[in-house]
Structure 1
C-alpha cells in the first residue's frame, strides 16, 4: 500500500510505540516502527513517569519513520492515558518528575476534598466519575509545588510541547481532569478556586484535529524528518480508540464500546454530556470525543488484575505467558469466586493474588487456589461488571444497547470476549486491536483533507480491518451471579 504516512506516538501504561499509518484514500494499514516498555519509576518512595526516557524512545521511533518512509511522512501526533500531568517552570523545564496516577500520595485526598466541596457540586461542574487519582486530587496532594509552575500540561500535551513548542491542552484529555466544564467547555476555574487551587497555569484548550505547529528544528535534525505538522489527535487514548470503533451507527446510542486493556472503559457515545441525577448516582463519567461528542462511560479496573497476578506468579517462580493463563482459566470452574474489580483494594496492592484471596475469604467465598482459578475469578468478575455498567448506561440514556464493540489489546482475549457476550446477553464484536493508534492516525488523515467526518473515519476502519463476532450463549448462572451483588 502506498499513500500518505501519518505517525501515531501511542503511549500506554505498560508500553509505548511509534506506529506509521499508511492511508491510500480508502484503506489504512498500520506498521509498528518502534515499541518500548513503560511503567513507574520509583523515586524516594514515590511512583513517577520517566518522561526523559520516553522522549528518547519516541525519538528512536521517529528516526525509524524517517529512514523507512522519508518525505512520505505527512504528520505526527501523540496520545496517552489521562489524568497525569507535567508542571513546567517559566523556563519550560519540568518542576519535578511527573507522578504516576497510582502513586499513594492521593490516598484519602478525594474523601477530604468531597467533605469540603459536595460531590454533587463537583459532578455538576465537571460531569466526571469520582476516582482517587483524578488530576483534581493529584493537585490537592501536591499543592506545595504548584507555586513553582507556570504551565500545566497533560502527558500528551507535554510531548507535543517537546515536538513543536505548543503549550495547548487538547480537549479529550482535558475532560479527564475533573476540573473541566462539560457545558461551558472551558476550565472549571470556579471549582478550582473553591479548593484554593491556582488557575494561572491552565492554557488554551484545543479540539482534536488542531495543528499545533511544525517539528522543531532540533527534532528534525536528530530524527531526519522534515518540516511536518504536529497534529493534536484525540490525545486521550480511549477517545482515539472510540473514534476507531467500526460501527456503522455513528450518531445513535444503540451500541456500546469497551476499550479493553489495563483499564476497561465501558460506555456509549452521546452528542452532549449527561449530568443527570442517574449519571451522578451511577458514578459515570463524561469525557470528550471527536467532533464535540461525549463519551458517557465508567472506568472499570480491567486486565490490570490479570497483569498483576501474572507478575506475582513470576515472583514465585511460575513464569506462564498470557495464552497459558487463559487456557488454565478456561478450564477452571466458572463463577466459583467473584470480586468487585473496582474495590479500591485492587488499585495497587503489593500482591494481587493474596488480595483476591483475602476478598474471597472476607465475603465467604471459595478462595481461588490455583493460577487458573485466580485468573478465571478476574475474568468472570470483569464480565459481570460489564453487565452491570451496560444496565446502568441503558437506564441513564433510556436507549437499549443492542451490540457491544470491544477494541484495544483486550479484544484479543477470546475468553473474556465470550464471557462478556454471555454475561450481558448481547453480541460482541471484537477488534481492531490497534484502535487507539488507528484513531490517532485517522484524525491526522482528516486534517490532511483525506476524510470528512467521524462516520467517514469509521468506514475506513470497517473496510481495513476484520472483527470477530461472539454470540451470547444461554447461561442462566450469570443472572443469578448478578443478583448476588458480587
Structure 2
C-alpha cells in the first residue's frame, strides 16, 4: 500500500485538502475536503477570519481520515504577505488584516519622506517588487495605528506559520513566504535586521527562517486526539506561488511559467536574484523558492477581476458562461492596465473597468460580455508584455508559456495569450499549488530523489 501525504492549500477565496500518493513514480491526487475563505469587515479593516481558517484546517484533517486516508505527513500553503502578532501567552494581538485593506496607502512614500528607507535601497537589498501591501508597509502602518501592539508582541508569524503553530506548537518563519515581507536580505537569505531596526520594529519577534522540506513536528496531543490523526507536519513552500512553481515541468530553460489564479504570477526560476535598476523599474520581484532558488516574476492582477465581475451579478453565472459572454464581443480590442491599483479592491469591478475604458475614449457596450472581453484582452496583453520584459532583463529568448493553476482551464484566455505573445501555451496541473506542496513532502519521504525527478512525473499538454 502506498504512503499517503496531505496538502492543505488555502487561497484567498477557498481552501482544499488533497491527498497525494506515488505509485511507480506516478502521482495520484484526491481531494478530501473543501471550504470557503474570504474577507470580513472588522474594526474598520478588511480582515481574514483566522478562527474559521484554523477550524477548517482541523475539520479537513478529520474528514480526510473519515474517508479512509491516513497521511504520514501534512503541509500547509497560503497566500503571502499577511501575518499575525502573538503576545507572551501566544494569543493573537488585534486582527489579521488582509492585504487588500487600505491601511498601507501612502506608506511607501512616507518611509521615503521620513528617510527611513527608500524603495531603491530596499529593492537593492531584498529584490522584492513594490506592492503597496507588502508586509514591510503593513507592519509600519500597524505600528502607526497601534504602537502598543509591538510593546506586547513576542512573535511574528505569517498566516501559514500561524496555522502550523496551531497544529504543532512550533514557531517558525518559512523561507518562501518570509521573503515576500521585503525584510529578508536576498544575498544572505536571512532577516535583514538593519532594515527591521530602522523601521523601529522589535527584532526578537521574528523567528528563525526554515527552508521547505524541514520537519516541523507532529500534531499537538490535543489536535491528534480531536482528529484521530498522528501526522508529522512538513514545511512545503508555504507561499502558494512557491508551491505552484514546483509543479511546473519546464520543457527547457526557455519556458516562462504562469501561475494563474486569483493572482497571475508570471516569471522564471533563477539561481541568483536580479536586483538591478532596470529590474526595479520594471517592478519584477525575486521571491525565495525551493532550495534557495529565486522566483523571478511579475505580479499581475489575474482572475480576481473575473471573480469580482461574477460576484456582482445576480444570479451568479458559471465561469464557462462568463467566458462565452466574452467571446460574443471578440471584436472589442480595448485594454486597461490590469496592474492599476484601482482594480485592487473596487466597489464595483464592472463600473471601474467601464470608467477606465471611458477615460481612454474607448467606451464599451453596457454588457457583461464586453467587460469580460476587456479583461481578457488586458490580461493577455499584460502577459505578452511581461514575456518581452523578461527577455530583456534575463537576456534569454523564450519559446513557450506553461500555465498552472485554475486559470489553465480557461482555453479562451490561453488562446488570446498565445496570440498576443506569439508563443505556444502549454497547460500544467489545475491543482498546481497543492501538487507543489505535495512534491516537497514526496522528496522528503524519498518518493523522488529530487525536484528534477519529481517534475518528470508531472505531465503537461499543449493547449
Alignment-derived partner of residue 291 in structure 1: 291
Long gaps (5+) in structure 2: none
Is contact 1:4-1:24 (8 Å) kept?
Answer: no
1:357-395 deviations in whole A, cap 9, x for unaligned? Answer: 111111111234211110010011001001111111111
C-alpha displacement of 1:246: 2.0
Cα deviation, residue 113, structure 1: 2.1
Contact 2:213–2:236 under 8 Å retained in 1: yes
Distance 1:329 1:111 in 2: 39
What residue number does 1:474 align with? none
Answering whether residue 347 of structure 2 is matched by residue 354 of structure 1, we say: no
Cα contact 2:25–2:447 (8 A) shared by 1:
no
2:7 is the counterpart of 1:8: yes
Question: Is 1:451 aligned to 2:435, yes or no?
Answer: no
Aligned-residue CA RMSD (Å): 1.3
Whether contact under 8 Å (1:290, 1:454) holds in the other structure is no
Give how far 1:121 is off. Answer: 0.3
8 A contact 2:329–2:369 mirrored in 1: yes
Aligned-partner Cα distance in 2 for 1:345–1:239: 27
**How far did 1:334 drift?**
3.8
Cα displacement (A) at 1:193: 1.9
Distance of aligned partners of 1:334 and 1:285 in 2 relative to their CA distance in 1, 3 Å threshold: farther
Comparing 203-212 with 362-371, greater Cα deviation is found at 362-371
The corresponding residue for 1:476 is none
Which residue of the partner structure matches residue 21 of structure 1? 20
Secondary structure at the aligned position of 2:4 is classed as strand
CA contact 1:7–1:18 (8 Å) conserved in 2:
yes
Contact 2:108 2:119 survives alignment (8 Å) = no
Distance 2:218 2:355 in 1: 53
Question: 2:25–2:448: 8 Å Cα contact kept in structure 1?
Answer: no
Q: CA deviation at 1:452?
A: 1.5
The correspondence for 1:112, drawn from 106, 110, 113, is: 110
Pairing 1:41-190 to 2, within 5 Å after superposition: 41-70=40-69, 72-115=70-113, 116=115, 117-143=117-143, 144=147, 145-190=149-194
Call closer, same or farther: CA 1:63–1:424 in 2, change over 3 Å. Answer: same
Give 1:248 deviation, angstroms.
4.1
User: How far apart are the structure 1 equivalents of 2:365 and 2:431?
Assistant: 33
- Secondary structure of 2:176's aligned partner: helix
Distance in 2, matches of 1:147 and 1:451, equals 46
Deviation at 1:338, TM superposition (A): 1.1
- Counterpart pick for 2:241 among 220, 235, 238: 238
* Residues 217-226 or 305-314, more deviating: 305-314
1:119-158, Cα deviation, whole Å (9 max, x unpaired)? 2101011100100110000001100222221111011111
Unaligned stretches of 5+ residues in structure 1 = 471-486
Q: Please, which of 368, 379, 382 is the counterpart of residue 382 of structure 1?
A: 379
Q: Which residue of 2 aligns with 1:479?
A: none
Q: Is the 8 Å Cα contact of residues 337 and 368 (structure 1) preserved in structure 2?
A: no
- Normalising to structure 2: TM-score of the pair? 0.96
Equivalent residue, structure 1, for 2:417: 420
